[in-house]
Chains A and B, each alone.
Chain A
Amino acid sequence: GENVEQHPSTLSVQEGDSAVIKCTYSDSASNYFPWYKQELGKGPQLIIDIRSNVGEKKDQRIAVTLNKTAKHFSLHITETQPEDSAVYFCAERDSGYALNFGKGTSLLVTP
């Protein structure tokens, strides 16, 4: 699974609004889908992940949905705050060892 498309590349929202980032993948064998948040000058930090046997997972203001048939998964952030501003990466893994990352979405939350 090497092809992960991520959209949009940049996203600007007002504080309190929701943000949605979408990713598509091509490998039917993909079974693990994490989302990482990367702040400037830091390494990526895992914020939520989902496995292929689950359609949705939620953790406070963050949720991820997975549509295996359509091969796409999405990150939803509700009630956005300025500290949510960062670059977000989706990734997928099939039966191998590598995580294949999207190119990232730069999220800006304006007060």
Chain B
Amino acid sequence: NAGVMQNPRHLVRRRGQEARLRCSPMKGHSHVYWYRQLPEEGLKFMVYLQKENIIDESGMPKERFSAEFPKEGPSILRIQQVVRGDSAAYFCASSPPGTKPEKLFFGSGTQLSVL
């Protein structure tokens, strides 16, 4: 049973470009969470999605950031017009259906570097 798969592992963008981060949850999991980790910091919650629904996006910046989890395919975290402050590690996690958001399984993350 493959774990949570994130790609790419490393992404380099210039200021003003778009970044698209992908996450495939564990098999059988229908809940996806995105967290951001800055250097020397803990993880910060961004958004919680179920298939085709955004359940909680209270941690998402109001502009330039969006997330989706379509019926088919991976969850996508999209950052438009990236700035240097967006440089961070972005982690996706998943959990089984019908459960509280506990016992999250994390992927290995995408390290975004904005030049």
Contact = CB atoms under 8 A, between A and B. Distances in A.
B40 interface: yes
A42 B108 contact: yes
Contacts of B44: 101
A96 B4 contact: no
A76 interface: no
B15 to A, nearest CB: 26
Which among A44, A46, A104 has the greatest number of chain B C-beta atoms within 10 A? A44
Range for the number of chain A residues in contact with chain B:
20 to 34
A98 B108 contact: no
Which among B45, B91, B103 has the greatest number of chain A C-beta atoms within 10 A? B45
Given A100-B45, A101-B42, A32 B56 contact: no
Contacts of B25: none
Interface string B21-36: 0000000000001010
Interface residues of B, number: 27
Interface string B83-114: 00000000101000000111111111100000
Interface of A: 4, 6, 32, 34, 36, 41-46, 49, 89, 91, 93, 96-104
21 contacts: A32-B102, A34-B104, A36-B106, A41-B108, A42-B108, A42-B109, A43-B4, A44-B91, A45-B106, A89-B43, A96-B56, A96-B58, A97-B45, A97-B48, A99-B35, A99-B43, A99-B104, A100-B45, A101-B43, A102-B42, A103-B41
